[in-house]
């Protein structure tokens, strides 16, 4: 085997975007990086500490992909570093899954297609809303059919983003357990109409309408907001300062405001004064998804 050395970078993501529950997601400029190099045996260093490779989630995903495609991965050293906070609604687990898929793709020279990567990632995660933006970048709208996962990417979103990341963690499983098992027909029709309008408003770049519909989710936020510190305060204060709208990022507890382009820094500074203990960050939209540097 020829010597090799490469870096895999995978963006974080914010799923749902209000009523786009389990379907919409936006890639963010925070990354997991894997620095990969040929070696005589396997070793995986996560944030500087060596981990048994069989215990490491990313490595276990890579092995599952390799098994699926019938290849053995060559020995290597993998060093993981991450800018993505865990269990905060920023898609860290989906980014890790995409990193594992790409690790197997590169090491096993599998030449996986986008559709194959999306199908595998969605199989592991259960829904495509974080996997698709981490793979493709931009804002993605996806769903699961029996034999396919259609996914559309929108890239020209002219908005600044502000994330409010609290110290507390919230496990997705806990936040999913608060949701109703079923929705009554009229309720579901109204909820999906909100979602249709979010997408149509984005397409037309009517960001005022986008923000309004973002804040009218009926699928998940009404049932989760009690779990989210400062939910109403953050939404109201951001609106007062000029935000178009604020939504839960994924299952929370992070919240994300969409604000007019050029006003992000100023609104972020104002919001920081009101949110002691939070990380308040101006985030970029990632437009390329997972990428390799050699
Ligand atoms: N759509 C998912 C949810 C995202 O809201 O539960 C988090 O996995």
All domains of the chain, ordered by start, with CATH? 5-155+287-293 (3.30.230.10), 159-283 (3.30.70.890)
Do 241 and 267 meet the contact criterion of CB atoms below 8 Å apart? yes
**Taking residues 109-123, what's their average pLDDT?**
98
In ligand 1, which atom is closest to the CA atom of 176?
A: 6
Comparing 52-56, 126-130, 289-293, the range with the smallest average pLDDT is 52-56
SS3 of 144-181: the string is: CCCCCCCEEEECCCCEEEEEEECCCCCCHHHHHHCCCC
For residue 55, pLDDT beyond 80: no
Confidence of residue 119 (pLDDT cuts 50, 70, 90): very high
Ligand 1 pocket test: pick from 13, 97, 129 the residue with the most ligand atoms within 8 Å of its Cβ. Answer: 129
C-alpha of residue 41 to centroid of ligand 1, in Å: 37
Confidence of residue 54 (pLDDT cuts 50, 70, 90): low
C-alpha of residue 275 to centroid of ligand 1, in Å: 24
Do 5 and 39 meet the contact criterion of CB atoms below 8 Å apart? no
Q: Does residue 134's CB lie within 6 angstroms of at least one atom of ligand 1?
A: no
pLDDT computed for residue 51 by the predictor: 74
Q: Does residue 127's CB lie within 6 angstroms of at least one atom of ligand 1?
A: yes
C-alpha of residue 294 to centroid of ligand 1, in Å: 33
C-alpha of residue 25 to centroid of ligand 1, in Å: 10
In ligand 1, which atom is closest to the CA atom of 175?
A: 6
Confidence of residue 47 (pLDDT cuts 50, 70, 90): confident
Confidence of residue 221 (pLDDT cuts 50, 70, 90): very high
In ligand 1, which atom is closest to the CA atom of 220?
A: 5
Specify burial of residue 144 (Cβ count, 10 A radius: 0-12, 13-18, 19+): middle
Query: What mean pLDDT value characterizes the chain?
Result: 96
Q: Rg for the chain (alpha carbons), in Å? A: 19
CA 145 to chain CA mean position, Å: 21
For residue 53, pLDDT beyond 80: no
Side-chain-facing half-sphere of 6: CA atoms under 13 Å: 16
pLDDT computed for residue 2 by the predictor: 85
Q: Which residue's alpha carbon is nearest to atom 4 within ligand 1?
A: 250
pLDDT in tens, 138-182: 999 999 999 999 999 998 999 999 999 999 999 999 999 999 999
Q: What percent of the chain has pLDDT over 70?
A: 98
C-alpha of residue 73 to centroid of ligand 1, in Å: 31
Q: Does residue 16's CB lie within 6 angstroms of at least one atom of ligand 1?
A: yes
């Amino acid at each position: 085997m020829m010597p090799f050395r490469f870096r895999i970078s995978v963006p974080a993501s914010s799923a749902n975007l209000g009523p786009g529950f389990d379907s919409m997601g936006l890639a963010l400029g925070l990354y997991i990086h894997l620095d990969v190099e040929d070696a005589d045996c396997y070793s995986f260093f996560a944030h500087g500490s060596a981990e048994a490779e069989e215990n490491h989630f990313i490595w276990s995903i890579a092995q599952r992909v390799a098994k699926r495609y019938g290849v053995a991965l060559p020995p290597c050293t993998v060093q993981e570093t991450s800018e993505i906070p865990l269990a905060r609604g920023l898609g860290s687990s989906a980014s890790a899954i995409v990193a594992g898929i790409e690790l197997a793709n590169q090491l096993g020279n599998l030449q996986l297609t986008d559709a194959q990567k999306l199908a595998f990632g969605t199989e592991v995660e259960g829904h495509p809303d974080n996997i698709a933006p981490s793979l493709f970048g931009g804002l993605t709208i996806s769903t699961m059919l029996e034999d396919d996962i259609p996914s559309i990417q929108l890239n020209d979103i002219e908005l600044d983003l502000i994330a409010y990341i609290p110290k507390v963690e919230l496990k997705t499983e806990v936040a999913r357990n608060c949701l109703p098992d079923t929705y009554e027909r009229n309720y579901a029709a109204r909820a999906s109409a909100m979602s249709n309008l979010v997408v149509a408003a984005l397409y037309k770049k009517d960001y005022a309408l986008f923000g309004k519909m973002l804040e009218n989710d009926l699928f998940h936020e009404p049932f989760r907001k009690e779990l989210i510190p400062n939910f109403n305060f953050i939404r109201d204060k951001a609106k007062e300062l000029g935000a178009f709208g604020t939504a839960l990022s994924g299952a929370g507890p992070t919240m994300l405001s969409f604000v007019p382009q050029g006003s992000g820094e100023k609104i972020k500074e104002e919001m920081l004064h009101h949110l002691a203990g939070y990380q308040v960050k101006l985030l970029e939209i990632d437009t390329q998804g997972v990428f390799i540097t050699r």
